Amino acid sequence: MVEFDFLSGVYAAAVTPIDSNGSPAHEDIPEFLAFLATRGCHGALILGTTGEGPSFSPRERMKIMQSAVKIRQVHPEFRLLAGTGTPSLDETIQLTKSAFEIGYDGVVILPPYYYKRISDQGLLAWFSQIIDTAVPEGGAVFGYHIPSLTGVPFTFEILESLRDNFPSKFIGIKDSSTDPKFAQMIGNHFGSGLKVYSGTDSLFSLALENEATGCITAMANLRSPDLRLVWDAYQHGDYDLNAQSRLEKSRTLMDRYPPNPPLYKALLAHLHGFPRWHVRPPLTPLTMEMEEKILAEALVKIDNFSS
């Protein structure tokens, strides 16, 4: 199996800046990614769930990917993953191919989420066409395991088939199941043979104990310094219990106010001076009253929340 250890670490499931007209704010995208780079992120996932990926057309997504890659002009080592999965096989192939042509390190692909009772045979055929057609040698593919939204989980059987059929391309998954048992089971089953990004901040230490390669989380938009503290400590055989505790408290708070993109955009504006970026319908912006309520609660309950 080809090694992709350089992809390990802390990744933000980055929000997508959107202007008042509802269009991507392209000039703000590399600036925001540079902010993440200075706060401990090794890289970012562009156009994931938090990035409102499914709300953009394929053409818009390609332009957003092109804007994001400009981060490399200032931070050349910043790693980029793109969310390229759609229910359309053709669109997913085109987006995946474009991501690698633009210079992305890897892609994170949702399963085709319209039909809920997909057989492993059908899912394997779908991914096989994408990988055969759109992924070059050296390109890394991760499945996006978020069954609460897609209704299509990645079973261990399908993961084994994809890994065995495409050992130099299908590398692992982003686990956003929020299930501690799954994090333990997948680590016990695959060990280091499958790279797993934890999508749940409150489970980050547990995931690392079970062979996770890093994390891709929404909270990294705000709490990447704590995620990096947990990551760095673990690399030295240690635990940062204080940072992990702050992550758990933050995650508990954020989970009370879904969906998260409006919340993260409001808090980034309030705490770090970014424009008050909009969201795409069907999402709606957070009211100022709700923002102040959440912020007051966070500042009381979570140490260093505003840092």
Residue 50 in domain: yes
Residue type, 67: S
Residue 275 in domain: no
pTM for the whole thing? Answer: 0.95
Residue 241 in domain: yes
Residue 265 in domain: no
Catalytic residues: 49, 114, 144, 174
* Sign of the alpha-carbon torsion through 97, 98, 103, 108: negative
Annotate 99-147 with DSSP letters as a single string: HHHHT-SEEEE----SSS---HHHHHHHHHHHHHHH--TT-EEEEEE-H
Give the pLDDT confidence score for residue 3 in this predicted structure. 66
CA 119 to chain centre: 26
Measured at the CA of 121, the angle between CA 119 and CA 124, to 5 degrees, comes to 110
Q: Which domain holds residue 128?
A: 5-247
Mean pLDDT in consecutive groups of 10 residues from the start of the chain, 307 residues = 80 98 97 98 98 97 98 98 97 98 98 90 96 96 94 93 96 95 95 95 96 96 96 95 94 92 94 96 93 86 79
Whether 91 and 129 have beta carbons less than 8 Å apart is answered as no
CA-to-CA separations, 144 to 108, 149, 198, in angstroms, rounded: 6, 11, 11
Residue 291 in domain: no
Residue 254 in domain: no
Structurally, the chain folds into a number of domains equal to 1
Residue 171 in domain: yes
Give the pLDDT confidence score for residue 307 in this predicted structure. 77
Give the pLDDT confidence score for residue 116 in this predicted structure. 86
Whether 7 and 79 have beta carbons less than 8 Å apart is answered as yes
Give the pLDDT confidence score for residue 1 in this predicted structure. 46
In the chain, what is the straight-line distance between the N-terminal and C-terminal CA atoms, in Å?
40
Residue 301 in domain: no
What is the CATH number for 154? 3.20.20.70
